Amino acid sequence: MSHATGFSCIRCGTAFPVDLQIDSRGCPNCVAVAPANLKVVYNRQKPSPYDETQQTKLPSLWRYADMLPCTPGEAISLGEGLTPLLPATVIGSALGVPNLLIKDEGRNPTWSHKDRFSTVAVSLARLAGARVVATASSGNAGASLAAYAARAGLRCVVVTFAGTAGAMLAQIKKYGAEIVPLADKSQRWPLLAAGVERFGWFATSPFQAPVVGSHPLGIEGYKTLAYEIFEQMNGSMPDWCVLPVCYGDALAGLFEGFTDLLDQGKIDRVPRLAAAEIHGSLSEALASKTDMITEAPAAFETLAVSIGTTRSTFQALRALRLSGGTAVRVGNRGLIALQQQLAASEGIFAELASVTPLAAIETLRRQGAIVASDRVVAIITASGLKDLDRSTIPDGRQTVFETAEEAWKHLLKDEGYCSARYETV
């Protein structure tokens, strides 16, 4: 690792050497009290990633390489990052937040934010001499890791479970990864652990319980979300950033990125962060003021499978607490309608898990936590093409028109399609 000099615990601050073998338990001192992930430590004065000479170097997130654990020359890249930050005034006004911006991570090479993680993790895996990278994944992480492994010439194993979205499985297969589906979801981690211990696999995802988060090297890639938001907002900050949260890797990285900017004097505050979650483990931990995240009951089967964990992590809780943020439970009701509304009004087709921030914003606005004048960034983490088998429910009643005249009669029922030019057709 060209830039990193070690790791430290995000909870107790204990330092660890740079050659530490990451086993996904996190800090050994905290594991019995409140399991906590590690973060990368750098020994140099961090330069600003926004110096003009840096900004124009590379058309990817590796333009921020001085803030990451390896150099651009060591990087495995597919041109990830630099995703657009788009005003979404129509749906924003409908949600009561006219100053809504969408960070569309579906524009990444494998159509999800996971590419920010994979580009760093696979780069470091290759530098470490790994021959196989592996992950337990419901879809996006597996697809992303498979693509970057292919780019790096490494083999990839994706351990998954029944119910994973078909489109993502197809994507993983096309990248040449080995897919291992398990009927018992809990068996994914022992399989990964055996691969790490017996064959030296570089596992990027958790493989121990309780989960502390993914590999800390990969999480560094998510810091670039904050750098880009700062740059795209011309040096100002939103009041809120809202994103879907499972184990909180992107949330933790986003917070660290904003903290970097604060430490550099580039900003005077970190935006409040909000987690759109499903079953409520973060909400409960925030309410109880504990560091130990407990299992939340799974009261329903969520459409947002990729964030459907019943137990989140301390790294997510820490980011919410230190930013003055919050967590919002999101159910299935209205998700498909929000997905369609976002696509139809803003031209952004998002995965079902990725529209949970909009549902969370609606709740926070109704509660008065977000006010109408707030500038809010919703991070849309993946493309809607990822889970079409869940978001599109065939009804078997599609109308097929025999003639153009019949089709026009149908269209003319809606005045929005009836300009004077076509009324006589």
Q: Domain extents for the chain? A: 85-106+222-391
In CATH terms, is domain 85-106+222-391 a member of 3.40.50.1820? no
Tens of pLDDT, residue by residue over 327-349, are 999 999 999 999 999 999 999 99
| Helix, strand or coil, per DSSP, at residue 379 | strand
Helix or strand run (H / E) with residue 92: helix 89-95
The pLDDT of 82-102, averaged and rounded, is 98
The pLDDT score that the predictor gives to residue 421 is 43
Q: What is the pTM of this model?
A: 0.92
Question: For residue 356, is pLDDT > 60?
Answer: yes
pLDDT band at 407 (very low <50, low <70, confident <90, very high): low
Residue 304, number of CB atoms within 10 A of its CB: 24
Residue 295, number of CB atoms within 10 A of its CB: 12
Rounded mean pLDDT of the chain?
90
Closest CA to 214 of 316, 139, 285: 316
Closest CA to 113 of 303, 236, 243, 216: 243
Nearest-angstrom CA–CA distance, 376 and 276? 14
Written as one letter, the residue type at 187 is Q
Nearest-angstrom CA–CA distance, 68 and 88? 31
Largest CA distance in the chain: 77
Tens of pLDDT, residue by residue over 271-317, are 999 999 999 999 999 999 999 999 999 989 999 988 999 999 999 99
What's the alpha-carbon Rg for the chain, to the nearest Å?
Answer: 22
Tens of pLDDT, residue by residue over 146-191, are 999 999 999 999 998 766 667 888 899 999 999 988 888 788 889 9
